[in-house]
């Protein structure tokens, strides 16, 4: 009798490969916002402004702020424009040895905002500077002159009655100090005197 046939050897199961997994996709990053080009005026630009009131060597003192309004529009690159009437804020400095008026530019009002600027200021060559001897009899006039200039600066830059009142108070104080001085020679720039401002650094619009 023949021996039974050996049991068939089972084949090893074939492993089924796992489905390929797509690599994780990083979330898209929004590109960084690119700031728009700066608009403004370049260094070397000249601004011509006219004062709103007379400026006198006794009624006004170094440190007093004065407003000159731009006489003509000024255009810069990229359609940047300062319209006529733009307030330019300047400050009186210590007068020169020959008594000449010296000013420093502080800021320019752009779109309702005061923007600090750097530059030089000179008085127009055609401005007639007057001189007069002032005694205590003219004290009241000096006080009133200081108040008027302060009120104009307050109204133009402050945009309301409150600014005018504050400006008038500061101007009157300056005039009062001047009134305490003895008789001296007072030099005055007339209302509407032209001041030329030359920018020494770019004026960037806000």
| Structural domain boundaries in the chain | 40-196
- The Cα angle at residue 123 between residues 201 and 141, in degrees rounded to 5: 125
- The CATH code of the domain at 40-196 is 2.40.128
Distant-in-sequence, close-in-space partners of 206: CB < 8 Å, separation ≥ 6: 110, 111, 113, 115
User: With 70 as the cut, is the pLDDT of residue 140 above it?
Assistant: no
Structure-model confidence comparison of residues 98 and 17, the more confident one: 98
CA distances from 112 to 88, 158, 173, 204 (A): 12, 10, 27, 14
| pLDDT for the residue numbered 165 | 47
Question: What does the pLDDT look like over 3-54, one tens digit per residue?
Answer: 555 555 555 555 566 655 655 565 666 666 555 567 899 999 999 999 988 9
The neighbouring-strand residues paired with 130 are 188
> What are the DSSP calls for 114-143, one per residue?
EEE--EEEEE-TT---EEEEE-GGGHHHHH
Would you say residue 87 has pLDDT above 60?
Answer: yes
């Amino acid at each position: 009798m023949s021996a039974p046939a050996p049991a068939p050897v089972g084949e090893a199961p074939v492993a089924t490969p796992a489905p390929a997994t797509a690599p994780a996709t990083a979330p898209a990053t929004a590109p960084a916002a690119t700031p728009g080009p700066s608009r403004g005026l370049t260094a070397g630009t000249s601004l011509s402004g006219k004062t709103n009131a007379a400026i006198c060597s006794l009624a006004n003192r170094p440190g007093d702020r004065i407003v000159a309004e731009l006489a003509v529009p000024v255009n810069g690159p990229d359609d940047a424009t300062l319209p006529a009437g733009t307030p330019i804020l300047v400050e009186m400095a210590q007068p020169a040895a020959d008594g000449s008026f010296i000013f420093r530019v502080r800021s320019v009002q752009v779109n309702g905002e005061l923007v600090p600027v750097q530059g030089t200021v000179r008085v127009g060559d055609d401005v007639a500077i007057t001189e007069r001897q002032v005694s205590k009899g003219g004290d009241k006039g000096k006080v009133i002159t200081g108040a008027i200039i302060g009120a104009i600066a307050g109204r133009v830059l402050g945009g309301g009655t409150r600014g005018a009142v504050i400006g008038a108070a500061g101007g009157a104080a300056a005039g009062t100090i001047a009134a305490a001085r003895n008789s001296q020679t007072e030099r005055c720039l007339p209302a509407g005197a032209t001041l030329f401002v030359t920018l020494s650094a770019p004026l960037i619009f806000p």
